[in-house]
Structure 1
């Protein structure tokens, strides 16, 4: 495994042998046929948008570029391949593999965070046939899941709206550690505000957040004595206070105000809150549902928060993890407002209310509705596992060899490919909203704003005309002849770009349920090539 110096992003799992064996057997076939160095072009794309939506958020490019920069078969890799290929394989093939790298590879791609549509390449790989073939599985692995996660996160952000904070907290539910790191990274790109995943913070710069779990609360019985219960005022020197004693004083007042009966809130829970407050006086938060929210968690939290308030500290939030989250949040906000007035503590009104508990799109819409008092929503399983559609289904198809177009003609029309190395353009209206994406052969001149174009929908019998107000090239060269030729922006910048891109889509394409289909059209030259290759194929 690569060292941390060679692999600062923790991507050691994305190595050349993270591939399917048939990539290696094809490589041997190309080499044996004398075709290993023939120039080839592959395109990576998806056939249909996930989750019943109309778009995908392109993600994973930064991982692909790092992988390409480091791509080299080590001696141990070659020795292993020799052990799984037939024993009579020519040793010269393995010597060739030792020389393989990406120095002859060029990659054009959609920028990280771009809106993408079916059939439009996320990535175009040009290079020696053998090398470009070996890149297929790793690149699919790096792009497909990242784009799926980013798209899922973008949908959740659209449902939540711009004001609610979203926290990804699904590491323990993710498909292994690599899946967890990818999910934390690209849910942030898709619009989440942060993650509970500390490694994603360290390696990728994703903002991290977290509070406490029920185990912390239930570990206390109430008999524990803090070794140092004394707290200094937030403003600096001043009378020190025994926090536990001050909490007991406030608890009596809170319970009286809330009209609670003779049953005292749970002592162990209160001891846990005091311990947490002593550790984090400037960031105290309470998890309220270890026992009863109304009879125990809420009064215990209020007692600690108000005791801290006497010393100039401000509690930052509470979290709910069970029950009717919307209803409980409304009740808690009402209590905060009432006691803020009763105890002259105006800061209490705006204490953040966070919720979690297997939240899906439907529940998120409920929590985000107008009048909701929920401020932060933590989502785990339903963002990192994408249960509505666990795979994007990206494919990596050969479109040109030795400057000759190649096309897959198959019994299933949906699986037929578009031949030739291509360029892609987004045609925009006067407001800057996308009208359609145009695929054309790379040798064709770029379309011009204000110029009427004759274009073809796939499968259409007649062309249509379009006159764009502006034209945006989609594919940019990021990696050329083994060198990074355009610096990838920081993750936070790609996140902002993704949100701007989503904001440009028309509402009918942005709808999450039954959206209008976005048009991807072919130039006349590309359609003519498709029809010619079809006619030349054996019947």
Structure 2
């Protein structure tokens, strides 16, 4: 059966209503309607001007939520009632509110880059076409749905680059996020940007993100001794029962794991017994997922020895412990020493008791961010997983991306916005954009063309020019040409095209694969090389012609 275009369910956040807009959208809409210009054909570009976090790339995110919003845009009776009672409405014709009731997005078309794509300044993320009043009304909502999503996805991708492909990255930021909606969004877009999982169960439920978590310091502190453990029995993988797991832990602690067998610099004196009880009780609850926090009292002198005693007891019962988590202190030093202790335990007790202990996971979660990861790489560490929260979800290093939504065409006439700051000059008209690749598979430039220009062809030279600096130009002979804009919404034909895959997993895969295609100097942590964004010769000439036509001529007396 032929698949048809379709509409999407509402946005995941119920706050995303038709009224999620700035007041001036309504005042402009009224003025358009009053003047009879509301039905004029218009096109807006949603763009950003500068890559975040002192980097040279951005990950585009938020497209699915934008299309959910567009699919369900409608002013409700409650919306109309609120608007009609606002002070700004006192001078408005009541027929305007009847007009608002009729509005939807059936006459809108949206072209966009695909979610999860690596994107660059000036190249539109989205082009929204349709009646002027409608494409104006959706401005604020589209911006708020794209700005934060793209910022978090980019932040996550940057953390992934520094941590490396082999590390497990877990998002732990819910408690530090800007409210519940910020926390859930952060979990979603961190996963898109390359994280492996989240501690946020609600995000896991909504978006099928793997959920990870073990225990907090409070769990360890809540235990005072083995008397807190009610049932000492442990059910074994084969269904049989270990009658006294507590005694088994004690046996390994006293007989097999004696401190004198460790080198002098790895020895401990007496571990915290309440911590040992806490680890034992947790092992009884989760024998197949035994990963515990070892820094409540002392990582090396208590936490790890206690973990080893319980972990060895579990292994003797047929279970494999997962590892430890360190949440404070010198992560480089502590992780390396922890790895030494795990390795020595395996060497001491051999394969029958401790096989695989040298490779157990070490998770770190102490206020980690890009700079910390970079420092750990420089100084060395033995960490296999990172739990990252505050700096990831709040984007502390740069709290806003700065996307803007600019009119580029009205009734077929290209429009330009001028500024004394050249970075803020817009590129007029409806454009097509293409990514040109070299023979080695690396993208070399994104080039924008006017809509009536022929598509760049493989092995055919095209002159690529900087939009505003005349001396910056180069011929490029692409080995591959990728079209960047895709029709993602066609209201007159049912909505979202049937072949558009908006799944989170697809966007995540696209993000990671597009980053791997980039030249390494564009991605590096320090002083990355800017990626080239250009325009065709025809578009360059048109920009500067329109610029001169629109800029007022000064007069010196």
CA drift of 1:83 comes to 1.8
Residue 325 of structure 1 corresponds to 331
Moved more, 246-255 or 131-140: 246-255
In the aligned structure 1, how far is the partner of 2:227 from the partner of 2:29? 67
Given that 1:285 and 1:316 are in contact with CA atoms closer than 8 Å, whether structure 2 keeps it comes out as yes
With over 3 angstroms needed to count, the CA separation of the structure-2 counterparts of 1:58 and 1:376, relative to structure 1, is: same
CA drift of 1:223 comes to 5.7
CA drift of 1:75 comes to 0.8
Given that 2:10 and 2:72 are in contact with CA atoms closer than 8 Å, whether structure 1 keeps it comes out as no
Q: How does 1:521-536 map to 2 (within 5 A)?
A: 521-536=534-549
In the aligned structure 2, how far is the partner of 1:376 from the partner of 1:111? 30
* Selected match of 1:49 from 48, 51, 56: 51
Given that 1:41 and 1:398 are in contact with CA atoms closer than 8 Å, whether structure 2 keeps it comes out as yes
In the aligned structure 1, how far is the partner of 2:291 from the partner of 2:506? 30
With over 3 angstroms needed to count, the CA separation of the structure-2 counterparts of 1:9 and 1:334, relative to structure 1, is: farther
1:305 aligns with 2:315: no
1:487 aligns with 2:500: yes
With over 3 angstroms needed to count, the CA separation of the structure-2 counterparts of 1:224 and 1:91, relative to structure 1, is: farther
In the aligned structure 2, how far is the partner of 1:262 from the partner of 1:149? 43
Residue 72 of structure 2 corresponds to 70
1:68-119 alpha-carbon deviations (Å, 9 max, x no partner)? 1111111111111112223131111111111111111111111111111110
Given that 1:456 and 1:464 are in contact with CA atoms closer than 8 Å, whether structure 2 keeps it comes out as yes
In the aligned structure 1, how far is the partner of 2:250 from the partner of 2:318? 18
CA drift of 1:461 comes to 2.5
Q: How does 1:14-413 map to 2 (within 5 A)?
A: 14-84=16-86, 85-222=88-225, 224-237=227-240, 239-253=241-255, 254-256=257-259, 257-258=261-262, 264-344=270-350, 345-368=354-377, 372-413=381-422
Number of residue pairs matched by the alignment: 533
Moved more, 295-304 or 472-481: 295-304
With over 3 angstroms needed to count, the CA separation of the structure-2 counterparts of 1:66 and 1:433, relative to structure 1, is: same
1:468 aligns with 2:495: no
Q: What is the TM-score normalised by the length of structure 1?
A: 0.95
Residue 3 of structure 1 corresponds to none
In the aligned structure 2, how far is the partner of 1:92 from the partner of 1:9? 29
1:188-232 alpha-carbon deviations (Å, 9 max, x no partner)? 111111111111111111111111110111111116432322012
RMSD, matched Cα? 1.9
In the aligned structure 2, how far is the partner of 1:109 from the partner of 1:261? 60
Q: How does 1:406-425 map to 2 (within 5 A)?
A: 406-425=415-434
In the aligned structure 2, how far is the partner of 1:418 from the partner of 1:367? 43
Q: What is the TM-score normalised by the length of structure 2?
A: 0.92
1:435 aligns with 2:444: yes
In the aligned structure 2, how far is the partner of 1:431 from the partner of 1:425? 18
